[in-house]
Structure 1
Amino acid sequence: MREESAEDLTALDAEQTNTAASVITREDVIVGAEQPIINIPLKEYHLGDITYFIKKGVEAIIDDVVTKRFATAELPSWNLLTRTNKNYTFVSFRLTVIWCIGCVLRYVILFPMRVALTCIGMIWLVCCTAILGYFPEGRFKRFLYWHISLITFRILSRAVSAIVTYHNRENRAKPGGICVANHTSPIDVAMLASDNCYALVGQTQGGFIGVIQTALNKAASHIWFERAEIKDRQAVAKRLREHVEDPTKLPILIFPEGTCINNTSVMQFKKGSFEVGGTIYPAAIKYDARFGDAFWNSSKQNYIHYLAMMMSSWAIVCDVWYLPPMHKRDDESSVEFANRVKSKIAEQGGLLDLNWDGLLKRSYVKREWKEQQQKDFSQRLKLT
């Protein structure tokens, strides 16, 4: 056991005040903050040295900081809407009546109206882009597409009763730039494209999303990749660079996380979009889950099922912050630049900044990540 003199304990108590910060400080003293656990002059272990490893092991079992980002976040209170896997539990007759009235309102009144709005928006998009495709390239065509795109995405946003508050609109992306944002669901595109016009980047899809991609591609220059082509980083970077260097084309919209996260954190940004050059326009999106959870768990729900859930919610309420433009410094790598942008987005949106790869949702942990953890642990055990 580590011996502490009475004078040391008295000094420690005098330094700490009766506040939340002092409680945290005392916990770090008891559990053990991240410091070298070996007393180098003595070169011997103490019983308290194992507390750090016990703490990490328990956290990995009961409160994994990574995998819970791929599931719907829990609400502090029931919103008469939350879908759970638990069986029905009777609470009170009054609450049951209120819930039944809400179901009638959402499924009998709101849902049909929202489906009708979605159909109107899709018909408008397909017809307008089909006609616009015959126009020659030029300023007039870009002018028409700008308004067609805004109207389309605003109609589709109304189809889920979106209530969006935009902050710092003077920082919106401009031609020759790249807008990057945290990713919660495909409707992130509608939230951003209702206020600005973008060139979209993504993998070629089928079904409902495929119809939208095909229609948009007829009227403007968007960047769609086949699955095999995405693996060729040089080809992807080349197409992005060519687009950014053309001042007549729309700013690019990219979600560097590469997958949907439950809007409680921002995970690792892929460095590809930060190697292209040009100005980066960060945007932070934060949803209010009390009225409807916008997160898409793509491993459990197809897109039509997800849309049905969105259309049967109370509303989709979110805030969008446009952050000041950012440029890569001469002394930083693409990875460092990506992390700097990510931290700014997380800070503005009130999200947790994580360095873990979001693709862990569908794949195993990479070998280099395991080796990094092993290296960190070994450094804490090193006697030299």
Structure 2
Amino acid sequence: MEQEHLLLAVISVLFLPMFFILFTVIVLASLGKSLGVRRRYVKLLLKIFQFGKAKIELHEKKQQTDENSEDEDENAKSNDEKGSHVIEREIAISATQGIKIPDIAAISESMKHEFHLTDVMYFTKCGVEAIIEDEVTSRFTAEELQSWNLLTRNNDGYHFISVRLTILYFVGLLIRYCMLFPFRVVLAVIGTAWLIATTAIIGYLPNSNCKRFLNQYVSLMSHRILSRAFSATITYHNRENRAKNGICVANHTSPIDVIILSCDNCYAMVGQAQGGFMGIMQRAMARATAHIWFERSEVKDRNAVAQRLQEHVEDEQKLPILIFPEGTCINNTSVMMFKKGSFEVGKVIYPVAVKYDSRFGDAFWNSSKKNLVLHLSDIMSSWALVCDVWYLPPMTKMDGEDAVSFANRVKAEIARKGGLVDLEWDGQLKRMQAKESWRKKPQEQYSKTIKID
């Protein structure tokens, strides 16, 4: 009996505080309230990172003892002043305009003669320069950090340069994997189960204002619980611009984007019907409200897809559709080409810019290297998920403006507001070869610069 009482006492000491914290987090998330613990936690982390940065800078200064290292520092500074370019390129290659030459007249004048094999060397050099500074493939790798954030997955090698940094690193390792990670996994399971169960139950209610209200409340509650599973600290700007219906578009870094945006507003989702666990979630959510899930055979029929989107947009009683026009995840540094489909359907678009703070963890999902489970485990074992969300004023398609121009205009505004680089390349280049038309444009423009008698 004494052993049983002792065991119960140990369990009470270890698990009761955890259950109390878990219950408190779920209740506060359900009510949309916060005690400010996560923001204080983030401020504390910033102070620790600053301490680590000072130690690393001191260590690097001690290593810079010869003149060569000093010269490298000066070159690095001069490169920083010029920008992120390693080389000064005379020709830029564009996805839509082919070759872009600043001083095309001077180059064309120098090449007005019969074709010689050496004429291609100038453009060969510019092609090599474009390969050296490839602005496309660099968008599909983790964002490089300016300073170490005590994670070995970034700037590996700093955790043994100082006794204090080593202690901080191992203490952080214990906190992240032995305390935060299990707690976050439990929250993620509870949030997911709650979302599936409640939306399935709401699906049996008749269509009414009560059903819509319950679905919106349950959706906000579930996604807020799920956001706590990543210690998400989100700052929403210009909330008066939130979409009430129509089409909402945003840049795409991770599947977590859906959770981040759904903590503050309710959306209808659009995508391909899945099997397995994702299929269970899709069917449960579809019972509660009108989401658009396409079958594999239907996805290829653009007219059928556009028709279903159009019907959804025209019904003001339905939730706004959340679409990521890039079609793939980009590494939180830029915005790539928006597909024109959603801009053909809607004349009014509600843009949203999402920017993560990579100092606390990398939110980018490289789907070609990691599956979704590994990606989520990486985020849940990071320090936190800190991001800003900007709701931009709705943008209307102008008279005579085609879908591509409208998409580019919206993309430029999202990039500007989120402090991202605006790129015109298709993000699907991560998975496929460049189109033949893209290869022909530079060839055609190159041939125009050479006069062949």
TM-score range, shorter chain: 0.7 to 0.9
Q: Which whole-Å CA distance do the structure 2 matches of 1:125 and 1:214 have between them?
A: 12
The answer to whether 1:159 aligns with 2:229 is yes
**Aligned pair in 2 of structure 1 residues 136, 368: CA closer, same or farther (>3 Å)?**
same
Measure how far apart 1:343 and its partner are: 0.7
Measure how far apart 1:29 and its partner are: 8.9
Alignment counterpart, residue 332 of structure 2, candidates 228, 245, 263: 263
Alignment counterpart, residue 150 of structure 1, candidates 210, 220, 235: 220
Alignment counterpart, residue 211 of structure 1, candidates 280, 291, 300: 280
Structure 2: segments with no counterpart, 5+ residues: 1-80, 93-99
Partner of 2:396: 327
**Aligned pair in 2 of structure 1 residues 153, 333: CA closer, same or farther (>3 Å)?**
same
Q: Which whole-Å CA distance do the structure 2 matches of 1:382 and 1:268 have between them?
A: 34
Q: Deviations over 1:63-94 (max 9, x none)?
A: 21111111112112221125269789843333
Partner of 2:146: 76
Q: Which whole-Å CA distance do the structure 2 matches of 1:234 and 1:268 have between them?
A: 21
Partner of 1:376: 445
Instruction: Tell me the matched-pair count.
Output: 361
Partner of 2:201: 131
Measure how far apart 1:373 and its partner are: 2.4
Which residue identity does 1:57 align to in structure 2?
Answer: V
Partner of 1:281: 350
Q: Which whole-Å CA distance do the structure 2 matches of 1:30 and 1:256 have between them?
A: 29
Q: Which whole-Å CA distance do the structure 2 matches of 1:376 and 1:74 have between them?
A: 35
Q: Which whole-Å CA distance do the structure 1 matches of 2:451 and 2:402 have between them?
A: 30
Partner of 1:307: 376
The answer to whether the 8 A contact 2:111-2:451 is kept is no
**Aligned pair in 2 of structure 1 residues 96, 128: CA closer, same or farther (>3 Å)?**
same
The answer to whether the 8 A contact 1:178-1:278 is kept is no
TM-score, structure 1 as length reference: 0.86
Measure how far apart 1:381 and its partner are: 3.6
Partner of 1:187: 256
Which residue identity does 2:306 align to in structure 1?
Answer: A
Cα RMSD (Å): 2.9
Partner of 2:266: 197
**Aligned pair in 2 of structure 1 residues 52, 130: CA closer, same or farther (>3 Å)?**
same
Partner of 1:240: 309
Measure how far apart 1:109 and its partner are: 0.5
The answer to whether 1:224 aligns with 2:224 is no
**Aligned pair in 2 of structure 1 residues 29, 100: CA closer, same or farther (>3 Å)?**
closer
1:29-178 equivalences under 5 Å are: 34-36=102-104, 37-38=106-107, 40=109, 43=112, 53-60=124-131, 62-83=132-153, 90-175=160-245, 177-178=246-247
Identity value in percent: 59
Measure how far apart 1:35 and its partner are: 1.8
Q: Deviations over 1:186-224 (max 9, x none)?
A: 000011111100001112223443333222112110011
The answer to whether the 8 A contact 1:33-1:52 is kept is no
Partner of 1:365: 434
Q: Deviations over 1:299-356 (max 9, x none)?
A: 1111111111111010011111111101111111111111111111111111111111
The answer to whether the 8 A contact 2:355-2:387 is kept is yes
**Aligned pair in 2 of structure 1 residues 29, 352: CA closer, same or farther (>3 Å)?**
closer
Q: Which whole-Å CA distance do the structure 2 matches of 1:354 and 1:29 have between them?
A: 19
The answer to whether the 8 A contact 1:184-1:295 is kept is yes
SS state at 2:345 partner: coil
Which residue identity does 1:186 align to in structure 2?
Answer: P
Q: Which whole-Å CA distance do the structure 2 matches of 1:339 and 1:56 have between them?
A: 26
**Aligned pair in 2 of structure 1 residues 41, 298: CA closer, same or farther (>3 Å)?**
closer
The answer to whether the 8 A contact 1:287-1:317 is kept is yes
Structure 1: segments with no counterpart, 5+ residues: 1-19
The answer to whether the 8 A contact 2:251-2:324 is kept is yes
SS state at 2:128 partner: helix
SS state at 2:308 partner: helix
Q: Which whole-Å CA distance do the structure 2 matches of 1:279 and 1:67 have between them?
A: 32
The answer to whether the 8 A contact 1:117-1:156 is kept is yes
**Aligned pair in 2 of structure 1 residues 29, 152: CA closer, same or farther (>3 Å)?**
closer
TM-score, structure 2 as length reference: 0.74
Which residue identity does 1:35 align to in structure 2?
Answer: D
Q: Which whole-Å CA distance do the structure 2 matches of 1:81 and 1:280 have between them?
A: 39
Which residue identity does 1:59 align to in structure 2?
Answer: A
Measure how far apart 1:48 and its partner are: 12
**Aligned pair in 2 of structure 1 residues 376, 102: CA closer, same or farther (>3 Å)?**
farther
Q: Which whole-Å CA distance do the structure 1 matches of 2:411 and 2:339 have between them?
A: 10
